[in-house]
């Protein structure tokens, strides 16, 4: 008899009615981003700063990555702090504001009109993050349990707030310049605060909790996690100070070294969690999630090459810069989400459908609620699409790029079908 996901404590956390809309929105955003990728191939052979590229990047960063993280964290943070979410109403507000703001901003990028659509979109997105921050902070303040993972999440959310506020300022700066430089000059700072401060910090904080949990591992090393926390935040603060005020080239190398150290420590943490696992058989979603840990190193490798080339050459290497962004959003972040969706969402759906039946009748395992064959095909198309598209960028070949983009589009379709199957699951008869 299966009693369900009691070890995650889902029965005492946020209502599925709050969480599931984030997953649906993210799944559809991934599909939209892949369609945009397919129809925007010519741009990937010329320049990285153009309307379609900006639209794809922000659809992946906000609609895909951020929305699914916000949704999952509304469910997982209460588990981490052992206390209920402060307000479901605020959670709904954060979803509604983001759901309205993201398409307005994307439309502004597509038509490259930084007027009211982009400006209002940015305002709604900032509002969504402010509401989310308030909800998270009050929830943590009311909890009697201090938790290193919760500190990762809260700090990452503050970095996300900084990222969105900077983005709002840059949108206004396009039409009515008030900053000392044009908006394009500040894009590297805007991007890396979001990538490192929001995505990297949060993924490590949540991943260091979920990976041992799903592997049923005995490994816990809080001191190592605090070192990771310090390295990332120190590196990011040094980067911002140097970018705005100091302009000392070797400080970039210090930032790079601190981030590399954090990633290596996290990889070491995951390795030991894997090594000391009780559950010896690792399922398919977990394999994809562990693959994403390795993929963290790829953007750093490309960034290192970009820095070396920028120091030695006067011209930018477009292929390397495009590859760097592609690896982050379609590689590392997407691999994490593809794996973790089918580790977290099945528990949420199980709790919705079977919680009241637990202990009364036989119920299926959460992992049986989605189609594993569909998942395997999704993983195959994803890996092939990722590799082929990346080769196309370096070879500057339209057909190869198109093939890779189509494979990624198929990935998004298979992902959406499996999510739909999960969300429409009905109780099995005894």
CATH number of the domain to which 188 belongs: 1.20.210.10
Residue 337 lies in a domain: yes
**Residue 405: its pLDDT value, please?**
93
Residue 430 lies in a domain: no
Dist. CA 335–CA 340, nearest whole Å = 9
Residue 429 lies in a domain: no
Place of tokens 């659809």: 59
Handedness of CA 377, 366, 77, 106 (dihedral sign): positive
| Span 190-211, pLDDT tens digits | 888 888 888 888 888 877 877 7
User: Which of 94, 82, 100, 83 minimizes the C-alpha distance to 19?
Assistant: 94
- The b-or-e profile of 389-399 (16+ CB within 10 A means b, else e) is bbebbeeeeee
Residue 428 lies in a domain: no
Dist. CA 378–CA 376, nearest whole Å = 5
Residues of the chain predicted below pLDDT 70? 1-13, 43-49, 145-146, 219, 246-250, 279-317, 355-361, 428-430
What residues contact residue 327 under an 8 Å CB cut-off, 6+ apart? 295, 298, 299, 302, 390
Residue 14 lies in a domain: yes
Which two tokens mark 395?
């070879």
Place of tokens 């996690």: 225
Decide: pTM greater than 0.75: yes
Q: Is 4 left (phi over 0), alpha (psi -120 to 50) or beta?
A: left
**Residue 288: its pLDDT value, please?**
65
> Within 10 A of 188 (CB to CB), how many other CB atoms are there?
11
* Rg from Cα positions in the chain: 21
**Residue 165: its pLDDT value, please?**
93
**Residue 249: its pLDDT value, please?**
67
**Residue 141: its pLDDT value, please?**
82
Dist. CA 429–CA 422, nearest whole Å = 17
How many domains does the chain contain in total? Answer: 1
| Span 338-365, pLDDT tens digits | 888 888 888 888 877 776 665 566 777 7
Identify whether the C-beta of residue 420 lies closer than 8 Å to the C-beta of residue 378. no
What domain range includes position 29?
A: 6-423
């Amino acid at each position: 008899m299966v009693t369900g996901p009691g070890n995650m404590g889902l029965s005492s956390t946020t209502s599925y009615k709050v969480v599931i809309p984030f997953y649906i929105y993210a799944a559809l955003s991934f599909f939209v981003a892949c369609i945009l990728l397919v129809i925007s191939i010519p741009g990937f052979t010329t320049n990285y700063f153009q309307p379609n590229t900006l639209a794809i990047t922000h659809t992946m960063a906000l609609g895909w990555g951020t929305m699914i993280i916000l949704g999952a964290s509304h469910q997982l943070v209460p588990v981490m702090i052992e206390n209920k979410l402060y307000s479901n109403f605020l959670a709904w507000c954060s979803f509604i504001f983001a759901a309205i703001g993201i398409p307005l901003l994307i439309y502004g990028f597509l038509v490259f009109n930084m007027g009211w659509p982009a400006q209002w979109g940015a305002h709604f997105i900032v509002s969504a993050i402010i509401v989310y921050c308030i909800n998270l902070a009050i929830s943590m303040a009311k909890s009697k349990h201090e938790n290193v993972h919760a500190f990762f999440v809260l700090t990452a959310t503050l970095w996300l707030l900084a990222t969105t506020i900077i983005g709002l300022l840059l949108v206004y700066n396009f039409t009515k310049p008030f900053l000392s430089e044009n908006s394009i000059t500040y894009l590297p700072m805007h991007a890396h605060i979001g990538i490192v401060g929001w995505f990297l910090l949060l993924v490590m904080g949540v991943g260091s909790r979920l990976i041992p949990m799903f592997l049923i591992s005995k490994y816990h090393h809080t001191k190592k996690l605090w070192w990771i926390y310090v390295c990332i935040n120190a590196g990011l603060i040094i980067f911002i100070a140097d970018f705005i005020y100091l302009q000392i080239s070797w400080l970039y190398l210090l930032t790079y070294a601190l981030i590399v150290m954090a990633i290596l420590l996290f990889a070491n943490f995951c390795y030991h969690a894997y090594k000391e696992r009780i559950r010896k058989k690792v399922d398919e979603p977990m394999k994809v999630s562990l693959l994403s840990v390795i993929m963290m190193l790829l953007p750093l490798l490309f960034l290192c090459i970009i820095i070396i080339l920028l120091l030695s050459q006067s011209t930018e290497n477009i292929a390397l810069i495009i590859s760097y962004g592609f690896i982050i959003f379609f590689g590392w972040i997407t691999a994490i989400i593809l794996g973790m969706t089918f580790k977290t969402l099945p528990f949420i759906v199980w709790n919705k459908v079977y919680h009241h039946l637990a202990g009364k009748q036989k119920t299926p395992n959460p992992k049986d609620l989605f189609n594993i064959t569909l998942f395997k095909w999704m993983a195959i198309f994803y890996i092939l699409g990722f590799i082929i598209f990346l080769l196309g960028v370096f070879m500057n070949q339209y057909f190869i790029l198109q093939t890779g983009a189509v494979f990624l589009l198929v990935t998004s379709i298979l992902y959406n079908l499996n999510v739909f199957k999960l969300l429409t699951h009905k109780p099995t008869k005894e």
